[in-house]
Structures are given as C-alpha cells and as structure tokens.
A and B are shown apart, each in its own frame.
Chain A
Amino acid sequence: MDDRFQPSRRLFLQAGAAAGGGLMLGFGFEAQALSPATVDLNHFIRISLRGVTIISKNPEIGQGIKTMLPMLIAEELDVTWDQISIEQADGDDKKYGAQFAGGSMATPMNWLPMRQAGAAARHMLVAAAAAKWGVKPEDCTTKAGFVLNGGRKLAYGDVAADAAKLTAPDPATLKLKDPKAFTIIGKTHKGYDSPKIVKGQPIFGIDTVVPDMVHAVFVRPPVFGAKIVSADLDAAKAMTGVKDAFILKAADYGDDWLHGVKDGVAILASNTWYANRAREALNIQWDSASGAGHTTEVYAAKAAELLTAAPVKVTSSQGDVDAALAKAHKTVTADYGAPFLPHVNMEPQNCTVHVRADGVEIWAPTQLPGAGRDLVAKAVGVAPETVVVHMIRCGGGFGRRLENDYMVEAAVISKKAGVPVKLTWTREDDIQNDYFRPGAHMRLEGGLDADGRLTAFRQHAVTYTRDGKVAQGADVDARGLLAVTTAHNRMAESYIETPMTTGYLRAPSSNLLAFVSEAFVDELAHAAGKDAIAFRVDQIEAHLKEHPHTEAGNPWAYNPERMRDVLKIVAERSGWGKTTLPKGTAFGVASYFCHQGYFAEVAQVKVSDGFFHVQKVWVVGDIGSVVINPSHAANQVEGSVIDGIGEMYGEITFADGGVVQSNFHDFPMIRMPQAPQIDTHFHITGFSPTGVGEPALPPVVPAVASAIFAVTGMRVRNLPIRPGDLA
C-alpha cells in the first residue's frame, strides 16, 4: 500500500490525457462517513441499511451511460441489479474525474476504473465483515449484496459503516472478476430512466423549474459576427406577459464569438411563448457587414479554384506519391463534396441558471459540464469553484452540447435580470446558431498496379479555418485503408476562412471522411475490376504480408486484421455476391475504423423515381471482448445507421453570413418510412471493450452511395441527394 494515500484515504487510480480537447482522466475515491447510517465507500457507491446507491458520473445524452457505468460498478461490487438505485452525479471533475459525453470514450476510459471502484468497495466490505467475525478476508466470499463465511452472512448495509473506516486498497492489487463469471456485464439492462420517460415525468433539462424562475429567450444576430445597432425594447416590454427586455453586447463579455455571448436582445416573460411573441416588436437594426461573401456558392467556387492549384499545406506524406501515380497501371481521380450539417437535438438548447451573490447554480443539459462551468465563471466574473452544474438528462447530444454557449447566455441573462431564468431556444434559434459539421471539397487520386492493388493515394482537401486556425471539426486527413495500406500517399489541405461556428457532429471528421474515402475505394475497386469486398480484403492481406501488424496493443492504431475480419463476416451475413436482387435494387459495402471500433456495413438500396430507399443494412462491428449492455449497444448501432442515412438528405447553406435553413420544413429529417431494417452483429474479439455511440455511423453513408452506383451507374460524389437527383 502506498502511504501517500493514508491520511485522506484518497486514492487516484489513474491519470492521463484523453482525446477531445485535453480532457484528463483523473479518478479518485475516498472512504468517508456521511452520517452514522449512510457511508460513502467511494464517490461512486453509497451503502446504507436501506440499500446501495451507485452514482453515475457522466452526462446522459441518450447513449445509455446512466445505466451502463453503474453496471460496471455493480458487477464487481457483487450486488444484483434490483438491489441498487442510480443517482446522476453533478458536474464535479475533482471528485469524479473527467465527466463528458464525447468521442465514444466512456467505455475505454471507464471499463477498468469503474470496475475497480466496485471491487475496492467489495474488498473493504469483506474486510469489515471478516474483522467482525474474526476470520481472514480470504475465507470470505460475496454474493448478491452479502458477505459470506461458512454458513454465516452479513448484508453489505450491516458492515458498511465499519468498512468506511478502513483504508482504501491500492486498485492495482484488486483482483477483478473473470469475465466468465460476469452476471451483469454482457446482459441487457434496460434504460434506468425509461419508466419515467414513458410517463412524461420531468427529467430533461428543458423540464427544469426552480422557485421564482422567469422564462427567457435571446434574439441572436441573423448573421455571424453582426453587431446590434438598436432595438425597440419598450415595444417588447409593453407586450402581454413580458417582464423585461435588454440588450447584450459581445464586447462586454470578451467578444468570444465561438463560445461567448453574442450581440442580441434578451426577453424575459412569464411564459416562453410570450417571450417569443415579443421578438417581433423589437424591430432590431443590425450591422451585418461581417457576413458579406460568406455564401455557400462563393465557398464552392473558391474551393473549385483551390483544388486546381497547389495545396497550401501538406499534412502528411509517405513515399513518393507523385512518381508512384505517374507509373501506375491505372489511375482514378474524383472530386467529392459534402455540406455543412446541423446537430438538431430534439430537445432545443436550454439552460436554467440562478446567479446569486454567493455563486451560480446551473441546471443544464450538457455534454461537457466542466467547460461550461469555466465559461460561465468567466462570463459572470466569479470563481469557477462557486459555480455548481447540475447535469440534467439531455434530449440528445450528437456533439452539440459540448459547446455550452446556451449556458453562458442563460447565466449572463440571470445576472443582469437578478432572477433565476430558464432560457429556451426555438428550433429556428437552434438551426441557425449551431456549431455545424464543416463541409469539405476534396480531390482524391489513386493509382492501381497491374494486379489491381492500390499503391498510391493522394488527397487534396479544401477545408475551413476560423481566425486562421483549422476550424473545430474540420480535420479531414484520410486515415485507415487509404493511408495505411498504400506505400505512397500524401494528404494536403487548402483553406477557406469562415466566421461560421463549426464543431463536432457525432463521429466528427469520420462522418464526412468515411463517405469520401470509402466511396472512392468503391471507385477503385470498380476500376480494378474487382468485387468491392474482395478488393478491400486483398488490399489488406497484401499489406499485411509486407507489414505484419505490430500495434495490436494500441487501440488508436488502425488494425487491418480486425477490419478484414468484419468485412468477411458482413459478406457472409448479408449474402454478398450470392443474392439475386430485383432490378432497381443493389448492395453496396463500406468499412471504417474510428473511435477504436471497426465496422463493416452492407446496404441494400432500391432506386426508383429518381431517389433512393435503403431497405436493409447489415452491420458487423468489432468493439472488443464484450458488449457491456447488448440492447443499448444495438440501439446505438441502429440509430447510427439511420442517422447516417439521414445525413444524406439535408444540408445547411449560408447566404452572406446567415444560415438559410430554419426548421424541419427546409432541413429534412429521416423519418419512420425511410428507416431500413437493420441486422446488427458484434464480432467478439480479444481486445479491450470500446464505445459504440459513433463508429457504426460513418460506413453506412458510402455503403449507400456505392449501392446507388451499382443500381444506376451514377456516382454519388456530392451530398446531399435530393429527390429526383437519381433520375
């Protein structure tokens, strides 16, 4: 035992960097008596005579984490599912370690420490019971919330107070369960909050009500960067139900147009609808000069020009791609384009905040509570320690709620108004003030040898910068097969500067790159005269012959063997190459590696009346040695696949710095009739379990695009596809 931990009985299990903006995994726990009847064995488990409470530390956005993390703890604690209740943690990274929903990171980051938290508590309960009985801990076992010794047993609740007085063990010394003995992990546990959801109970951020709360809306600029010149506040204040209206200026809050307060008008009313109705009375005058020229068609023309010139920056290079392309047996060149996309969580952005003299209390649907706390502290001028963030269930995340801009707005409005406020965005506010998935325009060139093997790959991407830096979510370097299995390759970029706010949409970068990369692989396979799965498998096997994979221990490195295997299995499950389909219908395939997961997908697509309908998608995924909560995992895969298909329908366009689309009438969403049947299969491997909120999404897009080619002979190189486009 390391003595450093003795005085406070506090133990940090692990610390390290994580993807997604320098987030740290700091994980600590301590044994601490809360009251004679209730003890906190560590921050994640509370045991009393009444029962066991497990605290779930991460934001719930629909990925099922509130159910999944406690499963890991409960497994090693050795309790049954009906013995526990689950509590949502507040945002407190000092206490709980990193708390965020992003990057499909919760599984890889918590797989070990959450089980260790459970095992540590179990270890202490056993020690306490053994001491009570005067026996050795090794002679005790546990089962379903009891410590057992011979014929005797003690309930956890009966020894919890004694256990809390013990020193927490060194997690490295804890023996975790053999996976064969799992009774909770690997078995479906339905959504913990679902019984409340079907009854309409108030559990979402937007349902928050606090005493004396006032409803607020905020009227933002129609153009990014626009400044407010004037507004008729008195006219708005004269409207029914309106309590107050005032102007906010970005300049008063640091002019941070990415995450800070924008110029605009706050309206406070007794009812959200009254506040929204008063917008019309404001007659706001804006200085919108900042938006001039930031127009989708202008960007497209600029991109076309940039693609014909030398790239501005080579981001990675291997071998001599120019020479390799020049001597290739066959070359394929294609230009691809994909649009900006919004997140559109079903629950519009909202936040309830009370700024008091002694601190700030926030009730927020957020994917990144710590960053929100810091932004709010800065905007209202208080110490971050005085800001409390209650994480309330999010009606969808998709990356939108990593940004916390709505939290800052609500805080500033509450401070200025001197009352607790609930700020609610309209759908129009949401679509027009998103952190969009950046679009891109790309030129891809591939060189095949006489055997149809891809030897060279060159990519020139036109992507976006904001303030001279690659914009959030705008990294589009090809990865995986094109980058790893070619001896000669080069990725290069040119840039368009944009003031538009961009960000991370579920499977960021990958949701665009997979389309471009894998649809291009389908073109290469076609040019090589090979079957699309055989082309990929041959490419991987030829590569492996020369470069055996040596990085199996690095989950971030593309493992060609894992990709080959899911491709082979999806071929079998879908009947690839063996199924006779009716005219107008065809299969397409794609595979992609991201977020540590390997997915291969076959889409069966029917084309009629100039449009496409996806009838069925077969999915094979390798997310490691165990699927922790099978029903939730399959639900994530089904949702990802349908979400990915939906991303082929719509686009966000700009006109002089303003967003053209405003609601679901002009940004089409995928709906029930368009949702295909889905066959999901997890290929179990020996690798550590990884997350599944994102990696199933990217490959479906190119799989569908390739199927459309197989039916029509038309290459889908630009999204979206509109009705009539395939005629």
Chain B
Amino acid sequence: MAYKLNINGKTREVDVDGDMPLLWVLRDELNLVGTKFGCGVAQCGACTIHLDGEPTRACITPVSSVEGAKITTIEGISASKIGAKVQAAWLEVDVMQCGYCQAGQIMAATALLLQTPKPTDAQIDEAMEGNICRCATYARIRQAIKQAAGMATADTREV
C-alpha cells in the first residue's frame, strides 16, 4: 500500500505493507539509516524518533499509523534549536564511544529538553532510562544534557 509520510519536513512516499514498522521504512526503503535497529521490541531506544515532537520507538510503530504525523529523525533534528544544542553538547563533552546508540540518546534528550528545559537528575533518569548505551557513556550523556540545557553539569544524585 502507498503511504505519504512527512519526514524532517519533506513528503516521502513509500509503497509497503501497512504493518511494517517505521524503523524499517526509514532504513531499508528510504535509506535514512541514522535511526538504528537495536532490539525490535522497544527495549533499547536505539530507534527513537519524534512523532509530533513525542519520543517514539520506530521499531514498534507501524507505518500505517503515522500518516499525517510530523516525523523527525536524527538526520533532521538539527533544525530544532534544542536539537542542535544537544548535538553540540554531545561533541563538546566527547560523549561517544562506539556511538551506535547515540542517535537514539540525542533524540530522547532533545525530547526531554523540549518538554523540561531544566531537568533534575531524577527527570533525566526517567527520560533516559529507556535508552541503553552498551558502552555505558551514561555519565557523559547526563553531563551533555545539562550542558545543552545551560545548567551546572555536576551530578547531584545522592552519594
């Protein structure tokens, strides 16, 4: 079936089975491979995209359910002022090890800051808990989120 999708401000047409998750439409139909496959069952967050600004797991989101929605992927996140700040903070803090999960982390972090411009450590934990980083760059992700938010970067959790 043919679907018309609004991805990063552009209209893209695909002809696929309606059950196909958006992840595989992006990756294998449209060659937008910045959105990553990690688990296929919404457990790791590597495929996080924004659906009308909400962080969403593309791996369990059928393409038939997203017609008419504004889809933003990592390739388009720099168009958002917050998204660009998050990307810059990620580079400044030198967050990356392997980097595979970081597109999803950046999408989740951007969504957090869009809704909560100055998050507490507890709010960061809650927003980011769904995103696994196998290299465990969590301390730097926390720091980069705070840096993007223009906050002091110290970890304020109980010690």
Residues of chain A having any CB pair with chain B under 8 Å: 61-64, 188, 190-191, 193-195, 197-202, 204, 206-207, 209, 215, 240-241, 270-274, 344-348, 393-398, 424, 426-427, 604, 606, 615-616, 631-632, 635-636, 638-643, 646, 663-665, 669-673, 675, 677-678
* Bound: A648/B76 CA distance, A: 38
Contact of B98 among A346, A642, A671 (CB under 8 A): A346
- Tell me which residues from 37 to 71 in chain B have a Cβ below 8 Å from any Cβ of chain A: 37-41, 43-44, 46
Which residue of chain B lies nearest to A641 when distances are taken between CB atoms in the complex? Answer: B136
Contact string against A for B residues 94-108, beta-carbon threshold 8 Å, 1 for contact and 0 otherwise: 111111111100100
* Bound: A270/B98 CA distance, A: 28
- Tell me which residues from 1 to 42 in chain B have a Cβ below 8 Å from any Cβ of chain A: 16-17, 20-21, 23-24, 27-29, 31-41
Residues from chain A with Cβ under 8 Å of B137 in the complex = 635, 638-639
Which residue of chain A lies nearest to B32 when distances are taken between CB atoms in the complex? Answer: A200
* Bound: A642/B131 CA distance, A: 15
Docked-complex contact B43 and A207, CB < 8 angstroms: no
Docked-complex contact B21 and A678, CB < 8 angstroms: no
Give A552 Cβ to nearest chain B Cβ, in Å: 32
Docked-complex contact B36 and A347, CB < 8 angstroms: yes
Given contacts A273-B21, A348-B37, contact A678 B75 (CB under 8 A): no
* Bound: A200/B77 CA distance, A: 10
Docked-complex contact A396 and B28, CB < 8 angstroms: no
Interface flag for B141 (CB, 8 Å): yes
5 A-B Cβ contacts within 8 A?
A197-B99, A197-B103, A274-B17, A393-B98, A395-B36
Given contacts A346-B100, A395-B99, A672-B129, contact A663 B41 (CB under 8 A): yes
Docked-complex contact A200 and B73, CB < 8 angstroms: yes
Which residue of chain B lies nearest to A678 when distances are taken between CB atoms in the complex? Answer: B139
Residues from chain A with Cβ under 8 Å of B27 in the complex = 272
Residues from chain A with Cβ under 8 Å of B73 in the complex = 200
- Max chain A Cβ within 10 angstroms of own Cβ: one of B23, B34, B75, B130: B34
Give A8 Cβ to nearest chain B Cβ, in Å: 38
* Bound: A522/B125 CA distance, A: 33
Residues from chain A with Cβ under 8 Å of B21 in the complex = 273
Docked-complex contact B46 and A346, CB < 8 angstroms: yes
Residues of chain B having any CB pair with chain A under 8 Å: 16-17, 20-21, 23-24, 27-29, 31-41, 43-44, 46, 73-75, 77-78, 87, 90-91, 94-103, 106, 124-125, 128-142, 155, 157-159
Docked-complex contact A670 and B91, CB < 8 angstroms: no
* Bound: A398/B100 CA distance, A: 14
Which residue of chain B lies nearest to A675 when distances are taken between CB atoms in the complex? Answer: B138
Given contacts A272-B27, A638-B139, A664-B39, contact A671 B132 (CB under 8 A): yes
Q: A346-B101, A643-B135 are in contact. List 20 more A-B contacts (CB 8 A).
A: A62-B135, A194-B96, A194-B99, A195-B91, A197-B96, A198-B103, A199-B78, A200-B75, A202-B33, A207-B33, A241-B17, A274-B17, A427-B38, A427-B40, A606-B158, A615-B158, A636-B97, A638-B140, A639-B135, A643-B136
Give A207 Cβ to nearest chain B Cβ, in Å: 4
Residues from chain A with Cβ under 8 Å of B43 in the complex = 663-665
* Bound: A394/B96 CA distance, A: 13
Docked-complex contact B20 and A273, CB < 8 angstroms: yes
Residues from chain B with Cβ under 8 Å of A663 in the complex = 39-41, 43
Docked-complex contact B139 and A63, CB < 8 angstroms: no
Docked-complex contact A194 and B94, CB < 8 angstroms: yes
* Bound: A61/B21 CA distance, A: 28
Closest 8 A-B residue pairs measured CB to CB?
A: A200-B34, A62-B98, A395-B100, A200-B74, A642-B136, A675-B138, A664-B43, A273-B24
Docked-complex contact A396 and B129, CB < 8 angstroms: no
Docked-complex contact B41 and A638, CB < 8 angstroms: no
Give B14 Cβ to nearest chain A Cβ, in Å: 10
Residues from chain B with Cβ under 8 Å of A396 in the complex = 98, 100, 134-135
* Bound: A641/B142 CA distance, A: 16
Which residue of chain B lies nearest to A425 when distances are taken between CB atoms in the complex? Answer: B37
Docked-complex contact A348 and B38, CB < 8 angstroms: yes
* Bound: A64/B99 CA distance, A: 11
Contact of A194 among B38, B90, B125 (CB under 8 A): B90
* Bound: A13/B97 CA distance, A: 31
Residues from chain A with Cβ under 8 Å of B103 in the complex = 197-198, 200
Docked-complex contact B94 and A191, CB < 8 angstroms: yes
Give A602 Cβ to nearest chain B Cβ, in Å: 13
Residues from chain B with Cβ under 8 Å of A670 in the complex = 136
Residues from chain A with Cβ under 8 Å of B77 in the complex = 200
Residues from chain B with Cβ under 8 Å of A635 in the complex = 94, 97, 137, 140
Give B68 Cβ to nearest chain A Cβ, in Å: 22
Give A618 Cβ to nearest chain B Cβ, in Å: 11
* Bound: A627/B138 CA distance, A: 22
Give A331 Cβ to nearest chain B Cβ, in Å: 38
Give B78 Cβ to nearest chain A Cβ, in Å: 7
Give A203 Cβ to nearest chain B Cβ, in Å: 8
* Bound: A23/B31 CA distance, A: 38
Residues from chain A with Cβ under 8 Å of B34 in the complex = 199-202
